[in-house]
């Protein structure tokens, strides 16, 4: 049993998603090596080496891994993958782009968005937007897995694994990243936030969305999320979408404001610990999953809630 | 330039699925089936590329039971030129579908393959990148904008932190995200026209692809239900409830 975990990072810090994937890896048992692929990314390798339960950190640097293309990342994973029984990554946009390539070249199935480790070859995962849970067993010699981050707590520090440099594969030249527009909010990251405040079409406009939800998020030190309808209406950027096709979150507290709770949205948040729904429609589906439902005008309730929290 | 688009027949996304009592899967008998919504976006994008003169032909491919013909006819009604069905009664998993599509690509020689970013039944999100890897092609997943110029493709991708723009060498695989386009409505005249468009049927044996599943489904069950919540009358009651649960300070 040897597990290889592909790290997610920005060359500077390790993404918390990797710490959650590590927790899933530790449930498999066996030795765990973390693979850090980047450029000038020594701090990331050091982060990874301090995590509990890690045997080794494999550290690869090359200029073409500064803003890596999925094709190159997959080649690098394949170059070190031999001898491992499991190859894991968090089910982020990076993991979802790279791991199917790895699995296809190894001629093995990939198991997506694992939410439970039931054995070394048996895993549970959501299907149909989380309306059903499937348990699958893999008969392949290597299990290639992406881990749903919200289903596992982040692993703590407490280790001191050796960092071993690994030779980089050459640039395959198939594609390259030519630009990035990353959203900077100054708020906690949506995928790992303790509290999420999410808004829907009920907020009516981008101005209202910001005027009401920003101060509420500020009071609660929360991340801001949105429904597909709110994103499509231009209230917020696409990376804040929560749901089947957006982010999946499971914070301690989820406050849903002016959103009805379409099944595609519920798929992205129904595992939150405590759900609060504020909606004018007493029949909105979100009120059926909410622990606390407050029916009324959000334009009165939200400012009152902000005042009460101050 | 020829474009190939893969389409999957799935339970309609508006249907609330029911888990079979014996835990063998989700009930699909007498349930409304449709084209996977992301595949519909992929078909629309391909048709737009042909309408704008970038592409010359749009071929749609599906794999599965004979009823997938309906899905292919829908794609033809959206404007695709020709369809190929890989007909099989076997349970198809993403790796197998990628191998079938690879075999079809070798026969059809497209310059671009468009797929949905995920299917709304298994939510696997694997087939596109797997196909790219098997063919040794470039890929751009989660596309929200796509431009072709010469032998290159520029794609805006929806990634975790925002948007990323990648430039790919053709041939390439692109998987469509929600905001790539809004598919057109299928009109009655186009449905009639689609009935006369060519639809070829092949089999996995003919394509020399082994369809044996690699994963065994042990069980499908309902996710744990949430305990019923309660209504609170006002903000004060809400704040008190949240405080006593310890979720706010």
- pLDDT (0 to 100) of residue A247: 87
- pLDDT (0 to 100) of residue B160: 86
**Nearest partner of A6 among A72, A63, A40, judged by Cα:** A72
For residue A8, count CB atoms less than 10 angstroms from its CB and return exposed for 0-12, middle for 13-18, buried for 19 or more.
buried
CB atoms within 10 A of CB A182: 13
Q: Give yes or no for B235 touching A (CB within 8 A).
A: yes
- pLDDT (0 to 100) of residue A245: 79
- Pairwise CB contact (< 8 Å): B162 & A239: yes
Residue B120 tokens read as 């709304």
B112 with B174: CB under 8 angstroms? yes
Residue A278 has pLDDT above 90, yes or no: yes
Q: What percent of chain B has pLDDT over 90?
A: 91
Q: Give yes or no for A182 touching B (CB within 8 A).
A: yes
Residue A309 parent element (H or E): helix A298-309
- Based on the domain organization, do A11 and A150 belong to the same domain? yes
Looking at residues A242-253, what average pLDDT do you find?
89
Q: Give yes or no for B234 touching A (CB within 8 A).
A: yes
Confidence band for A57, pLDDT divided at 50, 70 and 90: very high
The distance of Cα B118 from the centroid of its chain, to the nearest Å, equals 5
Distance CA A222, CA A189 (A): 9
Pairing of β B2-6 and β B112-116? parallel
Selecting from B120, B172, B229 the residue whose C-beta is nearest the C-beta of A292 gives B229
Distance CA A101, CA A172 (A): 14
Domain boundary among A126, A148, A165: A165
Distance CA A218, CA A122 (A): 42
- Based on the domain organization, do A26 and A161 belong to the same domain? yes
B112 with B58: CB under 8 angstroms? no
Residue A181 has pLDDT above 90, yes or no: no
Looking at residues A255-279, what average pLDDT do you find?
94
Q: Give yes or no for A305 touching B (CB within 8 A).
A: yes
A17-21, A38-42, A112-116, A126-130: least confident range = A126-130
Selecting from B179, B230, B235 the residue whose C-beta is nearest the C-beta of A238 gives B179
Q: How many domains is chain A built from?
A: 2
**Nearest partner of A125 among B13, A117, A6, judged by Cα:** A117
- pLDDT (0 to 100) of residue B13: 85
Q: The domain spanning residue A63 has which CATH number? A: 3.40.50.620
Q: Give yes or no for B16 touching A (CB within 8 A).
A: yes
- Based on the domain organization, do A147 and A291 belong to the same domain? no
Instruction: Provide φ and ψ at A279, rounded to 5°.
Output: -155, 145
- pLDDT (0 to 100) of residue B8: 98
Pairing of β A253-257 and β A274-279? parallel
Distance CA A284, CA A299 (A): 17
Look at domain B2-218 and name its CATH class: alpha beta
- Based on the domain organization, do A13 and A160 belong to the same domain? yes
**CA-based nearest residue in chain A for residue B14:** A263
Chain A positions in Cβ-Cβ contact with residue B223 (cut-off 8 Å): 126, 130-133, 270
- pLDDT (0 to 100) of residue A66: 96
Confidence band for A262, pLDDT divided at 50, 70 and 90: very high
- Based on the domain organization, do A194 and A295 belong to the same domain? yes
- pLDDT (0 to 100) of residue A24: 98
Distance CA A145, CA A120 (A): 12
CA dihedral defined by B142, B148, B154, B158, rounded to 10 degrees?
-20
Chain B positions in Cβ-Cβ contact with residue A290 (cut-off 8 Å): 229
B83 with B58: CB under 8 angstroms? no
Which residue range(s) make up the domain with A53? 2-165
DSSP reduced 3-state for B245: helix
In chain B, domain spans: 2-218
Q: Which residues contact A142 (CB under 8 A, 6 or more apart)?
A: A81, A84, A85, A86, A87, A106, A108
B183 with B74: CB under 8 angstroms? no
Domain boundary among A165, A199, A231: A165
Which residues numbered 29-48 in B keep a CB inside 8 Å of some CB on A? 38
**Torsional sign, CA B111, B117, B119, B125:** positive
Which residues numbered 169-198 in B keep a CB inside 8 Å of some CB on A? 169, 172, 177-179
Looking at residues A197-204, what average pLDDT do you find?
96
A194 with A221: CB under 8 angstroms? yes
Q: Give yes or no for B160 touching A (CB within 8 A).
A: yes
Selecting from A130, A178, A273 the residue whose C-beta is nearest the C-beta of B165 gives A178
Instruction: Provide φ and ψ at B49, rounded to 5°.
Output: -65, -35
**Nearest partner of A228 among A251, A198, A207, judged by Cα:** A198
Looking at residues A68-97, what average pLDDT do you find?
97
On whether ipTM exceeds 0.90, the answer is yes
Greater pLDDT, A174 or A130: A174
Q: How many CA atoms lie within 13 A of A260 on its CB side?
A: 10
Using CA atoms, how far residue A138 sits from A109, A151, A177, A206, B244, in Å, is 8, 20, 34, 46, 44
Residue B91 tokens read as 């349970």
Q: Give yes or no for B246 touching A (CB within 8 A).
A: no
d(CA A118, nearest CA chain B) in Å = 11
- Based on the domain organization, do A13 and A155 belong to the same domain? yes
The 10 Å CB-count burial string (b at 16+, else e) for A262-278 is: bbbbbbbbbbbebbbbb
User: Packing angle between helix B68-78 and helix B188-195, nearest 10 degrees?
Assistant: 120
- Based on the domain organization, do A142 and A260 belong to the same domain? no
Confidence band for A85, pLDDT divided at 50, 70 and 90: very high
Residue A172 has pLDDT above 80, yes or no: yes
Q: Which residues contact B247 (CB under 8 A, 6 or more apart)?
A: A195, A252, A253, A273, A274
Whether A142 is covered by a domain: the verdict is: yes
Q: Give yes or no for A78 touching B (CB within 8 A).
A: no
- pLDDT (0 to 100) of residue A188: 86
- Pairwise CB contact (< 8 Å): A294 & B142: no
CB atoms within 10 A of CB A300: 10
A243 with A253: CB under 8 angstroms? no
Residue A244 has pLDDT above 90, yes or no: no
User: Can you list the residues of chain B whose pLDDT is less than 50?
Assistant: none
Looking at residues A223-239, what average pLDDT do you find?
93
Residue A183 has pLDDT above 80, yes or no: no
- pLDDT (0 to 100) of residue A238: 85
Mean predicted lDDT score pLDDT of chain A: 95
Q: The domain spanning residue A270 has which CATH number? A: 3.40.50.1220
Residue A248 has pLDDT above 90, yes or no: no
Residue A179 tokens read as 């630009």
């Amino acid at each position: 049993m040897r597990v290889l975990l592909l790290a997610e990072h920005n060359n500077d810090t390790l993404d918390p998603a990797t710490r959650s994937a590590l927790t899933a890896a530790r449930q498999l048992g066996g030795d765990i090596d973390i693979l850090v692929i980047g450029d000038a990314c020594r701090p990331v390798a050091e982060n990874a080496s301090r995590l509990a339960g890690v045997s080794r950190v494999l550290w690869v640097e090359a200029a073409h891994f500064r803003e890596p293309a999925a094709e190159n990342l997959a080649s690098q994973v394949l170059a070190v993958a031999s001898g491992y029984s499991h190859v894991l990554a968090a089910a982020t946009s990076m993991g979802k782009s790279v791991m199917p390539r790895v699995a296809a070249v190894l001629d093995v199935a990939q198991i997506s968005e694992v939410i439970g480790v039931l054995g070394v070859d048996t895993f549970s995962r959501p299907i149909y937007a989380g309306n059903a849970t499937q348990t699958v067993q893999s008969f392949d010699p290597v299990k290639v897995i992406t881990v749903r981050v919200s289903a596992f707590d982040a692993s703590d520090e407490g280790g001191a694994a050796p960092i071993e440099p690994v030779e980089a594969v050459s640039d395959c030249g198939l594609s390259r990243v030519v630009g990035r527009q990353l959203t900077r909010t100054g708020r906690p990251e949506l995928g790992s936030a303790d509290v999420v405040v999410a808004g829907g079409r009920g907020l009516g406009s981008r101005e209202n969305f910001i005027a009401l939800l920003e101060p509420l998020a500020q009071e609660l030190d929360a991340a801001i999320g949105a429904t597909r309808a709110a994103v499509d209406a231009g209230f917020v950027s696409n990376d804040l979408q929560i749901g089947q096709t957006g982010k999946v979150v499971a914070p301690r507290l989820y406050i849903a404001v002016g959103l009805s709770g379409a099944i595609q949205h519920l798929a992205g948040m129904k595992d939150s610990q405590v759900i609060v729904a504020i909606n004018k429609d007493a029949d909105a589906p979100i009120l059926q999953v909410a622990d606390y439902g407050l029916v009324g005008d959000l334009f009165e309730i939200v400012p009152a809630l902000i005042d009460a929290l101050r | 330039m020829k474009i190939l688009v893969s389409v999957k027949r799935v339970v309609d996304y508006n249907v609330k699925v029911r888990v079979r009592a014996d835990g063998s899967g989700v009930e699909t008998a007498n349930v409304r089936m449709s084209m996977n919504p992301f595949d519909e976006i992929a078909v629309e994008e391909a048709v737009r590329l042909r309408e704008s003169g970038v592409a010359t032909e749009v071929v749609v491919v599906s794999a599965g039971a004979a009823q997938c013909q309906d899905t292919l006819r829908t794609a033809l009604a959206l404007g695709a030129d020709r369809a190929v069905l890989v007909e099989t009664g076997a349970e198809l998993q993403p790796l197998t579908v990628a191998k079938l599509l690879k075999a079809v690509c070798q026969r059809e020689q497209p310059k671009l393959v468009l797929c949905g970013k995920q299917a709304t039944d298994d939510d696997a999100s694997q087939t596109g990148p797997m196909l790219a890897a098997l063919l040794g092609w470039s890929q751009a997943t989660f596309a929200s904008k796509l431009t072709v110029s010469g032998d290159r493709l520029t794609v805006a991708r929806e990634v975790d932190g925002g948007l990323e723009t990648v430039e790919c060498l053709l041939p390439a695989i692109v998987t469509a995200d929600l905001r790539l386009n809004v598919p057109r409505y299928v009109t009655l005249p186009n449905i009639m026209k689609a009935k006369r468009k060519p639809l070829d049927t092949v089999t996995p044996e003919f394509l020399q692809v082994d369809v044996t599943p690699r994963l065994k489904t042990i069980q499908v069950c309902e996710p744990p239900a949430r305990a019923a919540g309660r209504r609170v009358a006002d903000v004060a009651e809400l704040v008190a409830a949240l405080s006593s649960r310890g979720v706010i300070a």
